[in-house]
Amino acid sequence: MTSTVQNPIELLRDNLEEQFQRNTDQLAELTLRSRQPGRSGYDRDALAALIASARQTVSDTAQALRRMAEGSYGTCERCTADIPLQRLEILPHARFCMPCQRAQTG
C-alpha cells in the first residue's frame, strides 16, 4: 500500500491552484458580462465591486503561489513569524499572522 500522506503545503498549493483557476474564470466571466449591453441584468456598481474583489483574489492567490515557489510561503511579511498552518488552511493566501493582520486592518 502506498502512502497517501501529503505534505500540508502541497495540499495548500493544490487549493491555491484550484482557487486561482476558479477566480480567473470568474473574473473573465464578470468582465465579459460588464461589456454586454444591459450587463445580464447586473447593477453596474455591484458588478464593478464583484470584478474588483475577484481581481484582488486572483492577485492574492498569484502572490501566494509565487511565495510558495520562492520558499517564503507561510511567513508573515511584517514580523517574519511563521503563520500557523491552521490559519493557512482557512486563508491559503494569508500574508500576515493574525496579530499583524489585525494591526493592518485596525
Interacting residue ranges for Zn ion, rule: CB under 5 A: 76, 78-79, 81, 97, 100
- In whole angstroms, what is the distance from residue 2 CA to residue 83 CA? 30
The Cα-based distances of 66 to 21, 61, 77, 105 in angstroms read 15, 9, 14, 24
Tell me whether residue 48 or residue 76 sits nearer to Zn ion (CB atom): 76
Tell me whether residue 36 or residue 104 sits nearer to Zn ion (CB atom): 104
Q: How far is CA 46 from the centre of its chain?
A: 21
* C-beta separation of 85 from 75 below 8 A: no
Nearest distance from C-beta of residue 80 to Zn ion, angstroms: 7
Nearest distance from C-beta of residue 105 to Zn ion, angstroms: 13
Coil, strand, or helix at residue 85?
helix
Tell me whether residue 46 or residue 79 sits nearer to Zn ion (CB atom): 79
Nearest distance from C-beta of residue 78 to Zn ion, angstroms: 5
Tell me whether residue 39 or residue 78 sits nearer to Zn ion (CB atom): 78
Nearest distance from C-beta of residue 16 to Zn ion, angstroms: 20
